[in-house]
Structure 1
Amino acid sequence: MNRIAFSFLVALLAGSAFAADLSDAQRNAIVERIKPVGESCVEGDNTCAAAPATVVSAEPRSGEAVYNAACMACHSTGAAGAPKYGDAVAWSGRIAKGMPALYATGVGGVPGTGMIAKGGCMTCSDEDVYAAVDYMVAGSQ
């Protein structure tokens, strides 16, 4: 074995010995730092029953406020094929389908496109999404 490989092996073994000398508190701190940010809970699973729920806004927000917070990123730029706010041509076919269809799209998303449920705003109530749809339609006719 050459000197470089031997030195590397010695350094590796020394590092392993250090890791084994961690206290329980140090190990727990490491586990806490590297645990997943979010956890998936299945209904009826008592092990995660205390997991925090997503908080939906208590009071309905204005359509403009919801648009600015959740919709503008795509609907102001046309990202992922989103119809731009104010583009009457892009919105005309959608508006022709009726408001119930637009509300359903806003709340449920459109499979196979960039439009995800509630535009990704999981703190928005359905009414918040409806208000944002109303705002975009009113500004795009």
Structure 2
Amino acid sequence: MSNENKMAPAQIIKVLVGIIVFVVVAIYLLAKLATSGFDVNAEVMTKEAVAARLKPVGDSVAGDPPGSRTGEGIYKALCASCHAAGLAGSPKFGDAAAWAPRIAKGEATLFTHAIGGFNAMPARGGGADLTDDEVKRAVVYMANNGGAKFAEPAAGAAAGASAPAGAVAAADPAVVGKKVYDAACVACHAAGVAGAPKFGDKAAWAPRIAKGEDALVASGIKGLNAMPPKGTFAGPDAEFKAAVQYMVNAAK
């Protein structure tokens, strides 16, 4: 073999170094690509925040007549999603240091902010159906657990004395049914995921409607095919039935 075809040691070293650099860069780029989109904010990965997101989908959306819900009940059903872990700058439940400057502003200011919305918090904490007194009760419940001594508006003052709890709301598919749908059913039925009949799709719903409402409700409560019992809704069967009626009505 001629000397012209032989590579000098220096050239061999350069080639090896080049290969090593190429491999390192390639590994880095692949790792960067694989982890892109997974920028985890520590604030939303606390044990409290994770626990709040893993809760069952609501115990009830209409357990009490409008105006009669307690501050504790509203906190657990709605406010806890942010205040339990102190997300988005909200004062964490039970954190006296975080609540102190807010309590110092007085209950009237807190009520105004909660009802109208403030910073990252939407009006009424996102509970559009809450009355002013219900919002105030929730605020008082949280503030008092943070060191305040506010007086809570009496629960039940705005509710009709003759109406049994939830009697009207629980029977109304357009109100309660929609709430249950938005809280649980929408995850699959909005796009027709896993064979679920798509919301408003008359052709998809027709053979199911033909089985009768009782059969639909029974299948939904028990769970059918890929659908878990009550679509993960943990509330009363009557409210789940209202959700079925809401979807059926939209497909007629």
> Scaled by the length of structure 1, what TM-score is found?
0.57
Cα separation, 2, equivalents of 1:56 and 1:70 = 11
Alpha-carbon distance between aligned partners in 1 of 2:209 and 2:243, rounded to the nearest angstrom: 14
Partner of 1:76: 190
Larger radius of gyration: 2
Answering whether residue 204 of structure 2 is matched by residue 90 of structure 1, we say: yes
- Mapping for residues 103-118 of structure 1, pairs under 5 Å: 103-110=217-224, 113-118=225-230
Structure 1 residue 102 corresponds to structure 2 residue 202: no
| Distance in 1, Cα, partners of 2:233 & 2:226 | 14
What is the rounded CA distance, in whole Å, between the counterparts of 1:114 and 1:128 in structure 2? Answer: 21
- Helix, strand or coil at the partner of 1:62: helix
Kindly report which structure 2 residues correspond to 1:115-134, keeping only aligned pairs within 5 A, or say none.
115-122=227-234, 124-134=235-245
Give distance in 1, aligned partners of 2:185 and 2:201. Answer: 15
> What per-residue deviation string (whole Å, max 9, x for no partner) do you get for residues 27-53 of structure 1?
xxxxxx9xxx8xxxxxxxxxxxxxxxx
Q: Distance in 1 between matches of 2:182 and 2:219?
A: 18
1:38-75 per-position Cα deviation (integer Å, ceiling 9, x unaligned): xxxxxxxxxxxxxxxxx832343610011000100100
C-alpha distance in 2 between matches for 1:98 and 1:121: 22
Uncovered stretches (5+) of structure 2, i.e. residues with no partner: 1-46, 52-57, 65-169
2:33 maps to none
Aligned partner of 1:56 in structure 2 is 59
Percent of residue pairs identical: 47
**Greater relative CO, 1 or 2 (CA 8 Å, sep 6+):** 1
- In 2, the alpha carbon distance for the partners of 1:105 and 1:77 equals 20
> Which residue identity does 1:117 align to in structure 2?
P
Q: Is contact 2:59-2:233 (8 Å) kept?
A: no
Give the distance between the partners of 2:231 and 2:183, measured in 1 at CA. Answer: 10
Return the letter of the residue paired with 2:195.
G
TM-score, reference length from structure 2:
0.32
**Secondary structure of 1:114's partner?**
coil
Deviation at 1:106, TM superposition (A): 1.6
Residue identity matched to 1:79: V
Q: Secondary structure at the match of 1:134?
A: helix
Query: Aligned pairs, how many?
Result: 87
The Cα RMSD (Å) is: 2.0
For residue 151 of structure 2, what is the aligned residue in structure 1? Answer: none
